Chain A
Amino acid sequence: MPASYEEVYAAMTVQELPGAGASHRSTPPPAWRPRTDAAALLPDPEPYRVLGTAAADKLDAELMRRYYAELVRGRRYNAQATALTRQGRLAVYPSTVGQEACEIAAALVLEDRDWLFPSYRDTLAAVARGLDPVQALTLLRGDWHTGYDPREHRIAPLSTPLATQLPHAVGLAHAARLRGDDVVALAMVGDGGTSEGDFHEALNFAAVWQAPVIFLVQNNGFAISVPLAKQTAAPTLAHKAVGYGMPGRLVDGNDIAAMHEVLTEAVERARAGGGPTLIEAVTYRIEAHTNADDATRYRTDSEVEAWKAHDPVELLERELTSRGLLDAEGIQVAKDAAETMAAALRDAMNAEPVLDPMDLFAHVYAEQTGRLREQAELLRAELEAENE
């Protein structure tokens, strides 16, 4: 069995490294050695799976039935939001069809006191955490940017600039730890977002500070149209963790039982003071980037069909029904609940929101500046003239 880096370096000084004795080259000082055991941080070679494997024998039936109901609801939420976009009720909707297991598990592994840091694609995670779908979709409706109080729900505003919310998650988790609170933060980012500088800086800060934060990368194959191969040369995105000194985990993002297990381990480790984890969930964006995108320009139907055969809702449904943990009635109950949610969302979205133009000046500064007062008066006069 090959020795770990730690064992190798513990047993030798740097001068004993191969080639170090050659007189023509200098060596690092003897105190130098790797800071951590890299091997222990490496992800598994294959995405971790539970459904369809022997590990599924130990499934928590109650939890999985809850996850099933959430998956059905999440799929219906995606369908409803996409329909609302076609009706012009949403300005844009980035779908998570095919990624529901990632979204839902990310929300459900957190305690109430924990914080979620979603990207613009992660409204489903916010909804699964308990946020009213109408509030979650305020931004995408073209209404005010954030439709909820982040502190009330412990959900940061949806972040459109990619990966920029990751350092926020680190700072919040760090602050919680400084205050002695056992709060963890979970930040969500896509495969494209891992190329951003903020991804790098967030992971580095998190590891240096040992902040209780979990970085969940949903590798859905594409950053709009650009495939992962043009995004990175890393063996996997999970491998990036090693360079920062945190564990990387690779997991099947369509297997909600595996997602639950891997995320729960990371959350518990963070909460216990064990520091951050990077998780790459391998999944697939079944629909286009948004309603404004044409995915046929950059991928084949056969690829999409192959992923549809590995659908997160069906994977769990098959597992539960084959084990007698879910029956037709249970499936119907889940579907009915999803329809109720969809009808309520449809009704709420069909009502025209009422926005007050004077609110434009309301929350720029704690105290309005003279300049903004002047501009507010200008707008007020324009509005009054319109109403005359």
Chain B
Amino acid sequence: MILEQTPDKSRKISWSYILLGISIVTIILFTLAPILWQVLTSVKTNEDISAIPNVYLPHKITLQHYLELFERRPFWLYIFNSALVSIVSTILCLLLGSPAAYALARMKLRGETIILVLIAVVTLFPYALLFLGVLEIIKNLGLGNNYLALIIPYTAINMPLTILVMRSFFRQLPQDLEDAAKIDGYKTISMLTAIILPMTLPALVTTGILTFIFAWNEYIFALTFITEETMKTVPVATAQLGGASLFDIPYGAIAAATILGTIPLVILVLIFQRRIVQGLTAGAVKG
């Protein structure tokens, strides 16, 4: 009986190990293959790109497509635009969102439940339902082809997440701290800047990474509100990289642009994986 059971059990374990191994390899392949293919395409010569059957590993590695982006197009400007709009809107979002989150976490405002429900509901609004109205606001304010035409909407679309993540953070802070500060004679605002703010730095970084990612990736507003070539962001500029004709699509240049446009985000994920997960779950689940 015992003799029979032992080999059976070990075989069962090794099978589940093999299954786990296969799943892990599949997950990695499924995740990385499309990105890897873009990397390969971006360094292939045009002959290799248009070879049939496909050439998988480039015969010759070339940086021609990358150079083309900077020589024939103002790609560094697109990167600058994306960075500027994302960074400024992230800062604004933290600056305006954190006080709001604190008020909703601690100050027992009348009507706070309604506001929280409202914040949760607007996160579900697709941007395609908003661009028409926002376009009108931008026209009325004369902000067409102005960075503010992106900075203001981006700050707003990241506001619900900022408030929900920061609020869940503030609620974890010990209330004693604030009570002690009050006894020491601090007013709410000065207590926030002198005592609470230094403690919130980790949460601000977590939130800021998420808002930066969302701002960098935004497409429909950037497509609609900015038509000036030199003010376009990376996603829009990349999508509009066309050739002279339908048959002259610059696949290599597009691949190079996708790599350049995604590298900042890949680096962020590699460094801040834990924070991204924390922020997302705090925003989605606890909020």
User: A and B: real partners?
Assistant: no
Residues of B near any A CB (own CB < 8 A): none
Residues of A near any B CB (own CB < 8 A): none
